[in-house]
Amino acid sequence: MAIVVGLTGNMAAGKSTVASKLKALGAYIIDADSIGHGVIGKGSPAWQEIVDEFGRDILLEDGSIDRKGLARTVFKDREKLERLNAITHPRILEEIERRIGLIEKSSPDAIIVVDAALLIEAGFHKRVDKIVVVTATEDQQIRRAMERFSLTEEDARQRLGAQMPQEEKLGYADFVIDNSGTMEKTTQEVKRLFEELKKAVAEKFRTKRG
């Protein structure tokens, strides 16, 4: 029996790094952020709803949504962020479910990892078998976000402040990966995690047969 794992963590904690290492070990990765980009593609139903809600000023010259500009707008206003999430989250979750179904059919003993920053906030944590939270210090997250996304410190702090606090996310965790140390340490933690997930797959199979 396949196992569905929710992989989450706040901005720039290192979630993508952990996902790539899990993929190298044999897990199937479903990237919610990538799905989100596709969901709001030009001309899609979500694209139209976003334009209706936020106006054509959030469009680039080619008609696609200026995701960076939209992010700056919504992360300054929680109500706008909630309206955007109400448009995108149901569609993202529907596509995640579709992909899980396809993997389960082709690989019944798969470890399926749903890489989603808003796994808990979107309520999708109720669908998964296990939850992994990736952590780092706040200073590390701010610095990494500034470097990776070319943000000012103020913008980085606004985005981080809009997310569920890391300590609160830890309350949902079955496993925690501490990504505040060396890459070697993170790699070892991910390998131990993968071994535990393989055990969980075997246990699920035994339970199903029983």
pLDDT score of 209: 66
Instruction: Report how far Cα 1 is from the mean position of its chain's Cα atoms.
Output: 23
CATH, domain 3-205, list 2.60.40.420, 3.20.20.70, 3.40.50.300, 3.30.470.30: 3.40.50.300
pLDDT score of 206: 80
Q: 3-state class of 202 per DSSP? A: helix
pLDDT score of 204: 84
Type of residue found at 210? G
Q: pLDDT tens string for the chain (210 positions)?
A: 899 999 999 999 999 999 999 999 999 999 999 999 999 999 999 999 999 999 999 999 999 999 999 999 999 899 999 999 999 999 999 999 999 999 999 999 999 999 999 999 999 999 999 999 999 999 999 999 999 999 999 999 999 998 999 999 999 999 999 999 999 999 999 999 999 999 999 988 787 765
In angstroms, the CA 43 to CA 79 distance is: 24
The residue extents of the domains of the chain are: 3-205
What do you get for the CA distance between the two ends of the chain, in Å? Answer: 13
pLDDT score of 1: 82
User: Could you identify the residue written with the tokens 């995108």?
Assistant: 88
Query: Is the entire prediction scored with pTM above 0.85?
Result: yes
